[in-house]
Copies of this chain bind each other. A is one copy, B any other.
Amino acid sequence: MDARDLALVEKYADCLQIGTRNMQNFSLLKEVGRSHLPVLLKRGYSARISDLIMSAEYILSEGNMNVLLCERGIRTFENATRYTLDLNAVPLLKSKTHLPVVVDPTHGIGLRDFVPQMALAAVAAGADAVMIEVHDSPQFAKSDGEQAIVPEVFADLVPRLRAVAEAVGRRM
What residues make up the interface of A, taking CB atoms closer than 8 Å to B? 2-4, 21-22, 24-28, 44-46, 48-50, 74-81, 84-92, 95, 108-109, 111, 113-114, 117-118, 120-126, 160, 163-164, 166-169
Cβ contacts under 8 Å, A28 to chain B: 2
A114 pairs with B85, CB closer than 8 A: no
Main secondary structure of the interface of A (DSSP, over half): helix
A120 engages B114 (CB within 8 Å): no
Complexed CA–CA distance, A46 and B102 (Å):
23
| Nearest CB in chain B to that of A46: its residue | B46
Q: How far is the CB of A90 from chain B (nearest CB, A)?
A: 7
A-B contact pairs, 27 of them (CB 8 A): A21-B25, A25-B25, A44-B46, A46-B46, A48-B78, A49-B78, A49-B81, A74-B77, A76-B77, A78-B88, A81-B92, A84-B86, A85-B88, A87-B87, A88-B109, A90-B117, A91-B109, A91-B113, A117-B124, A120-B125, A120-B167, A120-B168, A124-B125, A163-B167, A163-B168, A164-B167, A167-B167
